[in-house]
Chains A and B, each alone.
Chain A
Amino acid sequence: MSSKAALFDSPKKIRPGFVPWLLLIFSALVALALAAPMLFIVYQGLTADPSIWQRLWRLGRLQTLFINTFILTLIVTTGTLFLGVALAWLTERTNVPGKRWWTPLLSLPLLIPGYLLAIAYESFWSRWGLLAEVLTSWGMNDIAAIVPSITGLLGASIVLILSLYPYVYLLARAALRGVNTALEDTARTCGLNPRKFFWFMTLPLIRPSLVAAALLVAVMTMADYAVVARMGFPTFTNAVYSQLTTRLDRSTASVLSLALIVATVLLIMFQLYLWGKGRHYYRTSRQPIAPEASSSRGLMLILIVVLSAFLLPVGIFLYWMVQGWLHPTQANAIWGTGLADLLRFAWHGLLSAGSAATLALALALPMAYLSVRYRDRKFSRGFAWLSQAGLALPGVLVALGLALVLHRTLPELYFSVAALVIAYLILFFPFAFQTLESGLTQIPQSLEEAARMLRQKTVSVWRHVTLPLLVPGLMTAWVFVFTNALRELPATLLLRPPGFDTLPVRIWIAAGEGYLTQAAPAALLLIALSLPLLFLLDPVRTESKRTK
């Protein structure tokens, strides 16, 4: 019977192998659901009454927002690039004193979300600020009177640069480590002096990393709502937010959002183009390179950055917290600065962020598996792309999109914890997906095949081989989504159910009303809860761990 087939001259075709239909359908649904809010915004924006566009244009609103957003993004991106690369150079390639300590200290600002820095600075500077107060108490009234206030474009730029530079710093540092030092030695023997050599050799070599870092910073700047709101510098996110809260006008909000989405997509395409052009790595074993002598200016720069981006804001919040304890007021009870209240707000955050992180992993794992193990299948990459919408979507827009979707489908979910969790999911799912994808890529497929050859079915292979090996990736992804969701502000402000305040919301509202003594304890707690980020975001650290 069996050998009969062999008797035919050309044997019949065997049907092609297993197509993971279940995974494909699952991924399609998840990707669509995650992209739905953005698609709705685009749809709403495109179908909006043309008079809205005309009105916005005639009033000069669109133009102002475009120019404001563009200028801020440009300044912040340039500023973080300069600062980040300079600091990475100082700590990697020079013998600046105290090098060992600066490296971790310079990444500490990661712990402080931009809005906390904005709140701290707002209360610190200006003629009526904390600094002026201290100066006056020391009898230096003249100086106190000329303390500048930090607001507007200047304030937003300073705060965003100080809170976003660590991303550039960490990526640039990793890139500098990755550069083959033999290449640099060669350049030097060919007679390039150190300065020329930095501009013509090192910088081009680390360009791919810098472009990636610049993209990250630019997208985060465009997505920022809180810092620009605090500093009174209107950008798109602000405009959308105020349309949603004060005017309750979703059509105008959608039009503005569509403009922002288009701008973001254009920016991403431009940077991907740059990235693709300069993608060249020379990675081989490296030998330690002789550090250059550093000037005292380098040390000064590091000191100023560490001081202004980390020590000063933490110090300010500590000061306000101590003030709050020393002079308890009626407001304390209203604003809930007691331990029990703090824990309640934290619990809200843990609950929603924890659910979002767990859900993100559950949804990302099958998709990442499909994307890594069935790379050749037509749609798997497409779904992966679609699900990354959150990367380019500011929290304010996610809230708007979700409002649009829920309004039409499940109105009872609007203003519920579920809506909040979905918003976090949309915003931070891309991180979970990317982490798991790279984790799975590191597990050789032959391990799964080996398990199958040892008589194990698919489920058993997953349980005994794939999942145990993926544990570090799963943990990283969970903590990353969790911490980011815990710190999320604008979407939480817009979507939270009444009474479900999280730490960022409490800090934001209290600070907005000028009750800094009441905001400070929550701010410090939030900074402490962000600590795991420090370990996850350092590529140098994770790389060295991997090589062990």
Chain B
Amino acid sequence: MSAPNVILQLDKVTKAYGDHSANALGPLSLQVISGEFTVIVGPSGCGKTTLLRLIAGLERPDAGTIILNGNPVASFSKWVAPEERPIGMVFQDYSLFPHLTVERNIYFGLKKKNLDSKQIQHIENLFDLLGLKTLRSRYPHELSGGEQQRVAVARALAHQPALILFDEPFSNLDAHLRPRMRRELKKLLRELKSTALFVTHDQTEAIELADRMAVLRAGQLEQLDTPELIYRCPATRFVAKFVGEADFIRGLLQPNLLETELGNFAIRTSTKLATQEVDVMVDPRSLELTPLSGNISSEKQAQIVLRQFRGAEILYALRLPSGQELRAITIASRSFSEGEFVQVKLSSLPAIYYQNKRFDLV
């Protein structure tokens, strides 16, 4: 039986579409903990919207079980219609009813006379919290994008759902508005002690919002962890590329030794490994650049092909002797110019990946 604080549980859920396999999903298992914000992130076509629609009940899984609040809502023996699931959803396009005012959108499906004072207070409180007091009698087309989004959030929260789903909630907003809206939404949902599941393709957004983050690729879960862990210890090469800023170089793994273009590292491995090619993750911030001095071997020198000033930092694109390109980010006090040759050093033992999976060095 699932732990009491698990609000949503997916077990080996699969969904395939007849003609195009692009949005196919699963088999996928996932848990959402009550009170947490879980963010599902992945490139477009990875099946994240399908996953959301399966949870909402707008699509039926081909196989597997979805358990909500301890009750199965989709399994081979049971099906609960979307309108009977205690789930709220904020659609990507907000889907406000264009023929209804803000107030009637938020009260949609609720009859004021059937509500007790507590429920009414809850909804009226939403008007306050989301700053919609003055917009009550407006129609959706008279609202800005941000206002429309707030109405959509209020409408979903009005029914006091056990779980609220967000489908790319910020993708329709201007880029400069997004960080503020993210912070405000997070604050609001925390205040209301809501459990939320977000879907996004924007990794920055995911990292900022998530208590726990699920990285999805081609319908498969690559990693489910806190954003910190995902950022620092990506479980797969794909996660590292997608979430972080990491570059990869080739490495040769030998017993107790890792050979790379940036130097060799002594390692201790638990098993005797045959000579093996691996991918070595290089965090741009872990690279140390120093000016060339005459007696350095040419192996670790690289040419700066591009320099980009980013305020506090400077981003360099480096070309290694093998032709491989790498990025390095350094503090702005130290500066090199384009075309210059520098010495490159990795400040710590890098993570290595074998066949996409992280390979832990003990």
Which residues of A come within 8 Å of B, CB atoms? 2-3, 5-6, 10-14, 16-17, 444, 446-447, 449-457, 460, 464-465, 468-469
A60 to B11, CA, bound (A): 77
The reply to whether B11 and A5 contact each other, CB–CB distance below 8 Å, is: yes
Instruction: Report if B155 contacts A (CB, 8 A).
Output: yes
Instruction: Report if B98 contacts A (CB, 8 A).
Output: yes
A450 to B88, CA, bound (A): 9
Chain B residues contacting A12 (CB-CB under 8 Å) are: 63, 76
Chain B residues contacting A6 (CB-CB under 8 Å) are: 11-12, 29, 64-65
Instruction: Report if B60 contacts A (CB, 8 A).
Output: yes
Closest chain B residue to A469 by CB distance? Answer: B99
Chain B residues contacting A2 (CB-CB under 8 Å) are: 65, 67, 70-72, 75, 78
User: Contact partner of B87 among A10, A14, A453, A468, CB < 8 A?
Assistant: A453
Instruction: Report if B265 contacts A (CB, 8 A).
Output: no
Which residues of B come within 8 Å of A, CB atoms? 1-2, 9, 11-12, 14, 27, 29, 56-65, 67, 70-72, 74-79, 81-84, 87-89, 91-93, 95, 97-99, 108-109, 155-156, 159
Chain A residues contacting B87 (CB-CB under 8 Å) are: 453
The reply to whether B60 and A11 contact each other, CB–CB distance below 8 Å, is: no
Nearest Cβ distance between residue A78 and chain B, in whole angstroms?
Answer: 43
Could you give 11 example pairs across A and B, Cβ below 8 Å?
A10-B63, A11-B11, A14-B64, A449-B95, A450-B89, A450-B97, A450-B155, A453-B87, A456-B108, A464-B97, A469-B97
Given the known inter-chain contacts A10-B63, A13-B76, please indicate yes or no for A453 contacting B88, CB distance below 8 A: yes
Nearest Cβ distance between residue A474 and chain B, in whole angstroms?
Answer: 13
Chain B residues contacting A454 (CB-CB under 8 Å) are: 83, 88, 108-109, 155-156, 159
Chain A residues contacting B92 (CB-CB under 8 Å) are: 446
3 A-B pairs with the lowest CB-CB distances in the bound complex, closest first: A6-B11, A12-B76, A450-B95
Given the known inter-chain contacts A2-B65, A5-B65, please indicate yes or no for A453 contacting B60, CB distance below 8 A: no
A360 to B167, CA, bound (A): 39
Chain A residues contacting B95 (CB-CB under 8 Å) are: 444, 446-447, 449-450
Nearest Cβ distance between residue B76 and chain A, in whole angstroms?
Answer: 4
Given the known inter-chain contacts A449-B58, A455-B83, please indicate yes or no for A464 contacting B76, CB distance below 8 A: no
The reply to whether B60 and A456 contact each other, CB–CB distance below 8 Å, is: no
Q: Which of B67, B70, B82, B159 has the most CB of A within 10 A?
A: B82
A5 to B61, CA, bound (A): 14
User: Contact partner of B62 among A13, A444, A449, A456, CB < 8 A?
Assistant: A13
Nearest Cβ distance between residue A329 and chain B, in whole angstroms?
Answer: 56
User: Contact partner of A14 among B61, B99, B109, CB < 8 A?
Assistant: B61
A464 to B99, CA, bound (A): 10
Nearest Cβ distance between residue B236 and chain A, in whole angstroms?
Answer: 24
Chain B residues contacting A10 (CB-CB under 8 Å) are: 12, 63
The reply to whether B65 and A451 contact each other, CB–CB distance below 8 Å, is: no
Closest chain B residue to A448 by CB distance? Answer: B95
Closest chain B residue to A443 by CB distance? Answer: B98
Chain A residues contacting B14 (CB-CB under 8 Å) are: 11
Nearest Cβ distance between residue B65 and chain A, in whole angstroms?
Answer: 5
Given the known inter-chain contacts A2-B65, A3-B2, A464-B108, please indicate yes or no for A446 contacting B159, CB distance below 8 A: no
The reply to whether B97 and A453 contact each other, CB–CB distance below 8 Å, is: no
Nearest Cβ distance between residue A344 and chain B, in whole angstroms?
Answer: 40
Given the known inter-chain contacts A465-B97, A468-B99, please indicate yes or no for A11 contacting B12, CB distance below 8 A: yes
Chain A residues contacting B84 (CB-CB under 8 Å) are: 455
A10 to B11, CA, bound (A): 10
Chain A residues contacting B62 (CB-CB under 8 Å) are: 13-14
Given contacts A6-B11, A11-B14, 5 further A-B contacts (CB under 8 A): A10-B12, A17-B59, A454-B155, A455-B109, A456-B83
A464 to B108, CA, bound (A): 9
The reply to whether A3 and B1 contact each other, CB–CB distance below 8 Å, is: yes
Q: Which of B9, B97, B156 has the most CB of A within 10 A?
A: B97
The reply to whether B65 and A446 contact each other, CB–CB distance below 8 Å, is: no
The reply to whether A3 and B83 contact each other, CB–CB distance below 8 Å, is: no
Nearest Cβ distance between residue B147 and chain A, in whole angstroms?
Answer: 17
Nearest Cβ distance between residue A401 and chain B, in whole angstroms?
Answer: 39
Nearest Cβ distance between residue B146 and chain A, in whole angstroms?
Answer: 19
The reply to whether B82 and A14 contact each other, CB–CB distance below 8 Å, is: no
A449 to B65, CA, bound (A): 22
The reply to whether A451 and B108 contact each other, CB–CB distance below 8 Å, is: yes
